[in-house]
Structures are given as C-alpha cells and as structure tokens.
Amino acid sequence: MADLKERIARRCAKEFKDGEFANLGIGLPTQVADYIPEGVTVTFHSENGFAGIDAIATENPDVDIINSGGTYVTTIPSVKFFDTAESFGLVRGGHVRATVLGAMEVAENGDLANWIVPGKKVAGMGGAMDLCSGCPEVIIVMLHTQKGAPKILKKCTLPLTAEKCVSKIITEMGVMEVREDGIWVTELHPDYSKDDIQAATACTLHFDPAMKAMEEA
Amino acid sequence: MVNKIMTLEQAVADVRDGMTIMVGGFLATGSPEILMDALVEKGVKHLTVIANDGGLDAGQPAGNFAGKTARGVGKLLEHHMVDHLIASHIGVNPKINEQIAEGTLRYTLVPQGTLAEKIRAAAYGLGGVLTSTGIGTPMEEEPDELGRPKKVLEIGGRKFLLELPLHADYSFLRPSVADRFGNYMCAKATKNFNYVMAGASTCTIIAPEKLVEIGEVNPDIFQVAGVLVDGIVEGEQRWQI
C-alpha cells in the first residue's frame, strides 16, 4: 500500500513546471512535494496563510508557522505570509494553478465529493470548496478503489465539494483526464490491463489512442 | 489622547450571555489566549462564536508537539460556553462533535475563503459578496447562519452565491506587535482571521504579544489601523511548546 501511494505521489510530482504555484492537501497529496524533480521549483500554498511551505519542523519550531493541518512547518527563503482574505483571493482568482487532493468519489463529469459522509462525524470543508472551485486545475490522487469498491463513478452519491472541477485523476492503476465526453485513460500502469482498470471503475473509461505506460519520477 | 489600555476584567465586562463574538486564530495559532481565559473567568454563556475552527482541546497535540491545556476557542468549548459555532472546520477539537451529539452545540459551516469574505464585507461596508465557491454543493441549498436561504445569481453565464455580511458584538484578536493607539501587525501565519475581524464587530479588543509606544517603530510595519481598535490588553505571552 505504501508503495502504491509512493507510486501515485511520484507520478503526480511530474505534473508541475518550474516556477508554478500550487496547493497540496493533507495526507497523500503532501507527499507529492517530496518527489518534485531536480531543477523544478514549485511554490506551495498553505491556505492558512502563506506561499512557500518547505518541510515539517522537527525541532525548535517557530510557533507562528503552522500548515493547514496544524503542524509546525518551515518555509522557503522567498516565502510570503498573508491573511485568510488574501490567501483565498489568490485561490478564487485562479492564481494557485493547481490543487492536489484526495477524494471519496469522483464522477465522470468531474464532480468531486471529498468532505462529508452524511451521518458520520462532521469535520467541515475548511478550504476545500474554495480550492476546488477556484484553482484552474484540480488533480485527484487516490487509490483507485476503497476496499474494492470503485471511487470513480457515473455520478457521485455523496454531497459535492465542487461540481465539474476535477481535471486529472492519478491512481496506482493509471492517469486519467476528465474531458467533455468523459474520463480518458492517458497512462496505464504495466501491472494492469485495460480490463483491470475498467473493472475497478464504475463508469465507462475511454482509452486515449496515444495512451502510454504510466511514468514514475 | 484616548487611553485604550484596559484590564482583562474591563475588556470582557460588557460581554453578556447570548452575544456573538469573533475570535482570531487558526487551530489556535494566533488566538488571544488571555482574552479567552478572561471570558472563562467571567463565565459568560450561550455565545455564538465566529472563528475558523474550534481551537484545540486539552491534551491535544498542538501541531506536531503535544499540548497541555485547551487553546483558543477550545477554552470556551471546554467550559460549555458556546451555543452556536460558525466555522469552516470543526473536525479537530473533539469537544465539538461531543457537544453536537449531546445537543448543546449547533454549528454552521462556511467555506474558509467565504467566511473571510463575509467578515470582510461586514468590516468594510459591503452588502455581501459573490463567490462561485459552494455552487452545486450543500452550501447552495442550506440556509446561512441566520437561517436565510442562499441566493444564486448568474453573471456572465457563471453562477455565484450571494454571501451576506457577518457581524458580531466583539472581535477578540491577537497581534504580534501593536502600538498604544492600536495599530498592529501579526507575524507570519498568525495573521489568518486577525486582520479581517477588526472592525467587523461593535467592539474590537486586541491582546498583543508586544506593545510599543506610539512612534517607537516604523509605522509601515502595521497592517491594521488602530482606529478600528477599541481596547488593548497586556500580558499575552508567546506560545510555549
């Protein structure tokens, strides 16, 4: 499982170009930062108040610097701190080019559900709704299924975080793009066949004619 | 020159049961701890609290380092002083879901960026703000914090939610540095809601970590105008881990 998650994080790290500004969610998305290729500098947004997150502060943390999960972190030399209004102005304004998040469900039209399960303990959306509706690109990183049940569906059953927002899905099985006419597989991992990935998905997948083997960093 | 320096007792003397208060901070980073302590001491009840989250509970890890006491809004929750919490995230402090289950606390969730804008609208005299955040989600269907239905406006072919201003009786905030007039700045990631909440309430009280004389520092460091500040209390300490 850890290996599969590392595979997903490594592949996602290739999505970024030098100089970009992006947001990583808590959990698997955070790991993506560890695999950004040499020579590529991405400024990572911490929506609670700065651009330029570096790493978890393991000792003598600055108690004025936490990330959005409440963990003490360090920052890069070019960091800019800001308040919540400015932070989400950057998000809604489309200046944070991409957000990487996990998902409970993704629909074939790009609808995303990742914030609430009715009847379960309520956590709240935090900044997820703003990020998903504001960022030009929403990249979902997740295991393809949950205890064998597909998470990529024809229609979400859970309340949405944002509608038609997902542009790309990266799982251990492959890389998929959400297009006007549905979900297209652009990379398939060599461990799986077209039938395998389709069987693990609850909507019809399209296979891009230029589909290639899933690359890892 | 008006003297804004007051004792903690004076700062919370007119806070009454059932009032609405705003509290700066993000998971308690940037929260005015001594003002929360003063509210606990006073024992005020049935508050509506507007904050990013419910702070931290006693014994809960503060970041990646273990904490001993409740922090920020967590202090008010620990003493069952809150009836209604308006926040973007309520999953960290376990007291919140406990009190929801007991039926003593109700909550209204607002997306984080929208929460900041609703408060900013109140502070800066806007009739509301339009945002596409929440379109197609329960935010579009559910009434707002005062039970009003949401309005959807279509502008240039794009749908927006009309989000209305969010006012309070008091704003309790924590600057890193303030002068005796109330001009202030917040260091690093303690800014969060500590800027927009100034002026969104009838009365704004600050608890700066460092208080300087007027003219002592370059005024360019200040981010919030002292004209928005009604009271200043001394004694806020840097958080110790």
In chain B, the residue whose alpha carbon lies closest to the alpha carbon of A83 is: B192
Instruction: Round to the nearest angstrom and report the end-to-end CA distance of chain B.
Output: 39
Residue A111: band (very low, low, confident or very high) from pLDDT cuts 50, 70, 90 = very high
In CATH, the architecture of B8-126+167-232 is: 3-Layer(aba) Sandwich (3.40)
Counting one residue from chain A and one from chain B, the pairs whose CB atoms sit within 8 A come to 166
Residue A124 has pLDDT above 80, yes or no: yes
Residue A215 has pLDDT above 90, yes or no: no
Q: According to DSSP H, which parts of chain B are helical?
A: 8-12, 33-42, 73-78, 94-102, 112-123, 138-141
Query: Is any Cβ of chain A less than 8 angstroms from the Cβ of B117?
Result: yes
A110 conformational bin, left if phi > 0, alpha if psi -120 to 50, beta if neither: left
**Residue among A83, A116, A130 whose CB faces B191 most closely:** A83
Question: To the nearest whole percent, how much of chain B has pLDDT over 70?
Answer: 98
**In this complex, do A61 and B241 lie within 8 Å of one another by their Cβ atoms?**
yes
pLDDT per position as a tens digit, B50-106 = 999 999 999 887 666 767 899 999 999 999 999 999 999 999 999 999 999 999 999
What integer pLDDT is reported at residue B63 of this predicted model?
61
What integer pLDDT is reported at residue B87 of this predicted model?
98
**In this complex, do A71 and B91 lie within 8 Å of one another by their Cβ atoms?**
no
- ipTM given for this complex: 0.96
Q: Please compute the mean of the pLDDT values over residues A81-99 and round it to a whole number.
A: 98
For domain A2-213, give the CATH number.
3.40.1080.10
Torsion sign across C-alpha atoms A7, A12, A15, A17: negative
Mutate to test the interface with B, among A26, A63, A90 (most CBs of B within 10 A): A63
pLDDT per position as a tens digit, B25-57 = 999 999 999 999 999 999 999 999 999 999 999
What integer pLDDT is reported at residue A16 of this predicted model?
96
Query: Domain map of chain B by residue range?
Result: 8-126+167-232, 129-164
What is the residue whose two structure tokens read 């944002």?
A: A162
Q: Name the nearest CA neighbour of B203 among B169, B154, B237.
A: B169
